Structure 1
Amino acid sequence: MDSTTLLARITDYASRPNPYPLYTELREAGSVVAQADGSYLIGGYHEIAALLHDPRMSADPRTRGEVTHTHKPPFLRLDDPEHHRLRTLAMRPFGPPHSPGRVDGMRDEIDRITKELLEPFEAGRQADIVDDFAYPLPVTVICRLLGVPREDEPLFRAWSDALVAAADVRPDDDSTETDKVGDQARMEMGGYLLNLAEQRRGKPGDDMLSAFVNEPDPALRLTQEELAETAVLLLIAGHETTVNLITNGVLTLLRQPEQLDRLRREPELLPRAVEELLRYEPPVHMRERIPHVDMDVAGTPVPRSASVILALASGNRDPRRFRDPDRFDPARPDNQHLGFGSGIHSCFGGPLARVEAYAALGALLPHLGTASLVQDPPPYRQNAMLRGPRHLPIHL
């Protein structure tokens, strides 16, 4: 097959159930594979890890010089020093690194929410792991952390869907309409969250919006625009990837009953099993970077401002880095996967996602021993970058 069409084939919806043979083709085609649309696709673990740590690579779409958006991107798409400043301010309400912060304080709450969601899971009935469990769990948690009323959750499900669609990698696609809908959703969602934060000004609760809007130190305060962008990012990043992590985990375990049985016998393996899921079926498959300068990447010239697509999910299955990479091994040692990225943009919500995944899969294990998939492969979401099932019906 023509290697210059790999990105188009990977992002084609028909590949959503199983893009992994295409990632194998990508790694075999070379370290850097130029695409017909002018982008460059990187599929090897070591090359991806090096580029994620390379200061010449930008996360900011404005590096191309052609973006017309008037708003500043969220810190996920900014470079240092601005990225570092905003990320540090956004992380402060979570508590200082390596100390018990809000995430650790949420463990009991997460366990309680998990148990509540599993109450209707009775033998003989059908359940949708996405709608009945994997979606409401992280949404409830991030709502509590931010201070969003639970009854408003349906509002931002539509906003979130629009923003995630706009964030996808879409080669050779007229994305103007998708971007327009995404921008509108970002504006509405940001306005809603700003309004919510303003209601807490001078009347703080124990939530992150209160902490942002009542910050006493002027040097540590977010502007209104920064607060809106950061709150939108936290809300979306706080649940989108975790939904995929939990759902992909259930799908993987039901497809591999011997590993499911092993985890039920040895629940102490669960933390390592979650790391292996982040490698084997990661919630984020790709990330885009843009070089500030003309670069040589593994012997291939890559021009300044080109779109460089780092296929994290391909790197996670690179046989040069992982032994027997297409095998799901819940006890895999030395598992430095790319499931949460790496470098300055490594996923700041990783600790929360891990806690939620441990709680979710640990509580689900007793139910999964006799469960079966209603449909395999299940229907997938449209997004190729944030890949996961849209529904996962199981019979209990």
Structure 2
Amino acid sequence: MAPASVFQQILDYANRADPWPLYAELRDTPVAREDDGTYVVSRYRDIVALLHDPRVSSQTTQPVGDTADDESARSFISTDPPEHDRIRRILTRHYGPPETPGRIDAMRTEMLEIVTSLIDGLTGKTEIDLVDGFAYPYPVTVICRLLGVPVEDEPRFHVWADAIVESIGTGAGADAVRAKRETAFVELGRYLGTLADARRDLLGDDLISGLVTDDGALGRLSPAELEPNLALLLFAGHETTVNLIANGMLTLLHHPDVLDRIRREPEFVIPTVEELLRYEPPVNLLPNRRALADVDIAGTTIPAGAPITLVLAAGNRDPDHVPDPDRFDPERFRTEYLAINRDSAQHLGFGGGIHYCFGAPLARQETQIALVELVRRLDNPRLLADPPPYRPSALLRGPRHLPLAVDRIIPDADSGGVRHPTVTSA
């Protein structure tokens, strides 16, 4: 049997806790061809070029749905322009700028209330699992309220979300894994489609209500379009933020100087979250790209039709792009630094190009609020497992559990009255 390639080793769960040496080794061959014909791209400048190259398609070979010829039964991230642009613009009308610029910012007070309630619920405990007790229920509650999904239905859609996240980026058998993922995605979409049907008779101020009554110039999403896109928003709207918060707290506990600085200067959370998106991104890989024509990149020709995987996490730590990339340093994203080094400070934590993360404004605000509150209310937090157990996926990489010891949960009224910095969600 041939030895495993570097990329196959990255997919191996045994390397989930510390893939960074493998990412560095992967960059030694900027464009590596795998045995299945996939071209793996790992340097920052090459990833950015391909993210903006119209010859690289995000169109899946078969839509997720009941019938292979139902071309609308796919989420917009698996499509190309003009279909992608139309659906994304309709969704954005009810989510954020430019047509609904205040929706996410207006949720800051509600986010803080959710965070406060969850941390209050940990009172009396000296050992906690930060994922189960906070990093998972917080973004789930937020995305449910934004979309208009009953949060009490979480046990129902959790099963589908788990099936999706455990089947992507694991290196497991392709056909069985893909079938499991697509079945879960379709069932999640059907559940949300049922909610959308009911919402037509009982409208609210949520995103689903906006979508089912949309009379904009681009038209209204059909049921076959609405279901997979709502499924995407619900799934991606919490799973990635779970990782960002858990990775963030784990990183802060490894860097107590930054943790202490956030406690003293809450506004320092803003560059800290940007550095987390570079240093420990919640999404490590972008698979399922395909060359529409021959593409020359880094001295290699990727032939038309070939699948492409963009390794965002490797690009984020490319020393040709970021000096001393394995050092966690939020100062990279301070205003003064950005004014001089803006190009070298850009990260791939939210991808790039036309598929730049739809939920970036929400994820930023959620994580900023979460880290400030955790830092000021967890008294002397320390890791009980290092490394912690990780989730199966190499794509959505983050701790499955994050067991911590604390001396106590500081009551909100006794925590110094720290106020959150006013930041833009853009």
Q: How has the CA–CA distance of structure 1 residues 43 and 219 changed in structure 2, closer, same or farther, with 3 Å as cutoff?
A: closer
Q: 1:59 & 1:3 partners in 2: Cα distance?
A: 30
> Displacement, 1:167?
3.5
Using a 3 Å threshold, how does the CA distance of structure 1 residues 22 and 3 change in structure 2: closer, same or farther?
Answer: farther
Distance 1:180 1:33 in 2: 27
Deviations 1:5-51 (A, max 9, x none): 011100000010010000110112x3212223321111111111111
Equivalent residue, structure 1, for 2:59 = 60
Partner of 2:93: 92
Asked if the contact 2:284–2:397 (Cα under 8 Å) also holds between the matched residues in 1, the reply is: yes
RMSD (Å), alpha carbons? 2.0
Which residue does the alignment assign to 1:267?
A: 266
**Contact conserved, 2:13 with 2:170, CA < 8 A, in 1?**
no
* Cα separation, 2, equivalents of 1:222 and 1:352: 23
Q: For 1:106, what is the secondary structure of its paired residue? A: helix
Distance in structure 2 (CA, Å) of the matches to 1:377 and 1:391:
10
1:179, 1:272 → 2: CA distance? Answer: 37
Alignment check: 8 A CA contact 2:111 2:366 kept: yes
Report Cα offsets for 1:291-343 as digits up to 9, x if no partner: 10122111111111212111100010011111110000122134210000011
8 Å contact kept, 1:4–1:35: no
Q: Name the TM-score, length of structure 2 as normaliser.
A: 0.87
Secondary structure of residue in 2 paired with 1:89: helix
1:121 CA displacement: 3.2
Name the CA shift for 1:110/1:209 in 2 (closer, same or farther; >3 Å). Answer: same
Contact map agreement 2:93 2:99 (CA 8 A) in 1: no
**CA distance in structure 1 between the aligned counterparts of 2:183 and 2:315, rounded to whole angstroms:** 34
- Whole-Å separation in 2 of the counterparts to 1:240 and 1:386: 8
Say yes or no: does 1:318 pair with 2:318. Answer: yes
1:4 and 1:34 in contact (8 A); partners too: no
Map 1:1-396 onto structure 2 (within 5 A): 5-28=5-28, 30-62=29-61, 69-71=68-70, 72-97=73-98, 100-122=101-123, 125-168=126-169, 170=171, 173-217=172-216, 219-288=218-287, 289-332=289-332, 333-334=337-338, 335-368=345-378, 370-396=380-406
- Counterpart Cα distance in 2 of 1:368 and 1:36: 48
Secondary structure of 1:142's counterpart equals helix
User: Alignment identity in percent?
Assistant: 50
Q: Deviations over 1:245-299 (max 9, x none)?
A: 0000000011121222222222221100000000000000010221101221111
Q: TM-score, normalised by structure 1?
A: 0.94
Structure 1 counterpart SS, 2:331: coil
In structure 2, distance between residues paired with 1:135 and 1:122: 18
Say if 2:74 and 2:225, in contact at 8 Å, map to a contact too: no
Post-superposition offset of 1:97? 2.4
Q: 2: distance between equivalents of 1:70 and 1:395? A: 53
Looking at structure 1, the residues matched to 216 and 92 of structure 2 have their Cα atoms a distance apart, in angstroms, of 16
Conserved 8 A contact 2:284-2:395: yes
The number of aligned residues is: 389
Question: Which range moves more in the overlay, 233-242 or 94-103?
Answer: 94-103
> Residue 301 of structure 2 aligns to a residue in which SS?
strand
Distance 1:115 1:386 in 2: 27
Question: Structure 1 pair 157/70, CA: closer, same or farther in 2 (3 Å)?
Answer: farther
Q: Per-residue CA shift, 1:76-99, capped at 9, x if unaligned? A: 111111000111111111143286
**Superposition deviation, residue 123 in structure 1:** 6.5
